[in-house]
Amino acid sequence: MIFILSLIISSMTNILKTEAIVLNKINYGDTSKIVNLFTKDTGKVSVIIKGGRDSKSKIGKITDPLNYLQIIYYQKDTREIQLLTEADLLLFFHNIKSDIDRLSYASATLELFIKLIPENEYNLRLFKGLLKILGLLDDVTTSPIDLFCSFLMFFIKEIGYEIQLENCVICGEATLNNLSLGYNYEKGIFCNSCKKNNFFETNIQTELFNYLISLKTNKKNYETNTKVKEDAIKFMEKFLKYHFTDFKELQSLRLK
Ligand SMILES: [Zn+2]
């Protein structure tokens, strides 16, 4: 529910108070900043911080990517960029920012939202999921790659797609975990025999298949090597690339 602080100011302007995670920011004009936020109550929103580049601007200082804020902004449906008027820092993920590996997975997570989530689409599960993965990535005892792989599987499902792995989409074979498999991004998984006569984009080896299943069924502590986990990320990136023509790859993971 959107918490409306005051009555409608003019016919189309609301003052909204919500929580937000900063996705990215750019300088705008000589003094302002434009910030992309993923909010709890209104989904992805772009806001302008007037005077946000001034060193005295408190809001300008705390609106850095990854920060978790409580914000107040003016929402006008007729404009694409809203006006941010107040912000308080709720959480600052210090450990992520001081560890290059954690930072690259956290940045890749934000990149998913920047590239694949449309503006103004409310999704509380995604908001909670984002806050949760950032909290876990900030915990130095966790494994960043495992967290990111689970999140990526969750994210794909939340945006309305599914990586089909349960049975061969051609013949229905359900015992797939000891076969060399194929994947067609449109249709799903092919067993070893159906692979021979049907078009598929990529091979799925047994270890990768088992790892993807563990991600899909949320099996904790599944043991596999880093190569398999990296292959899982590449596979899911290709899946997204197939379904979103503008999406190419997660650049944050190429900068490591
Ligand atoms: Zn088959």
Residue type, 88: D
Mean per-residue pLDDT for 178-207? Answer: 94
Instruction: Find the angle CA(65)-CA(69)-CA(72) to the nearest 5 degrees.
Output: 120
Question: Of all helices (H) and strands (E), which one includes residue 115?
Answer: helix 100-116
Euclidean distance between CA atoms 19 and 72, whole angstroms: 9
181 CA to centre of ligand 1 in angstroms: 9
Q: Is the pLDDT of residue 4 over 60?
A: no
191 CA to centre of ligand 1 in angstroms: 4
Nearest of 108, 150, 128, 144 to residue 254 by alpha carbon: 108
Q: Is the pLDDT of residue 196 over 70?
A: yes
What SS3 state is found at 87? Answer: strand
Euclidean distance between CA atoms 93 and 99, whole angstroms: 11
187 CA to centre of ligand 1 in angstroms: 12
pLDDT at 149: 97
Question: Which long-range contacts does 236-240 make (Cβ < 8 Å, 24+ apart)?
Answer: 236/149, 236/152, 236/153, 236/156, 236/163, 238/185, 238/201, 238/202, 239/156, 239/161, 239/163, 239/185, 240/116, 240/156
Q: Is the pLDDT of residue 6 over 60?
A: no
- pLDDT confidence of 77, banded at 50, 70, 90? confident
Burial of 67 (0-12, 13-18, 19+ CB in 10 A): buried
- pLDDT confidence of 167, banded at 50, 70, 90? very high
Euclidean distance between CA atoms 82 and 192, whole angstroms: 53
Q: Is the pLDDT of residue 9 over 90?
A: no
Mean per-residue pLDDT for 160-178? Answer: 92
Give the torsion sign (CA, 183, 102, 136, 71): negative
- Which segments within 141-254 are labelled E, that is strand? 181-184, 188-190, 202-204
Euclidean distance between CA atoms 157 and 147, whole angstroms: 16
173 CA to centre of ligand 1 in angstroms: 5
How much is the mean pLDDT over the chain?
A: 93
197 CA to centre of ligand 1 in angstroms: 10
Mean per-residue pLDDT for 117-142? Answer: 96
Question: Which tokens go with 162?
Answer: 């599914």
184 CA to centre of ligand 1 in angstroms: 12
Largest CA distance in the chain: 66
Question: Which tokens go with 2?
Answer: 């959107």
193 CA to centre of ligand 1 in angstroms: 6
User: Is 51 within 8 Å of 69 (Cβ atoms)?
Assistant: no
Euclidean distance between CA atoms 254 and 256, whole angstroms: 6
Residues 6+ apart with CB under 8 A from 231: 208
- pLDDT confidence of 2, banded at 50, 70, 90? low
Residue keyed to tokens 């929402």 = 75
- What pTM was computed for the model? 0.92
pLDDT at 256: 65
Question: Which tokens go with 244?
Answer: 């979103």
Q: Is the pLDDT of residue 8 over 80?
A: no
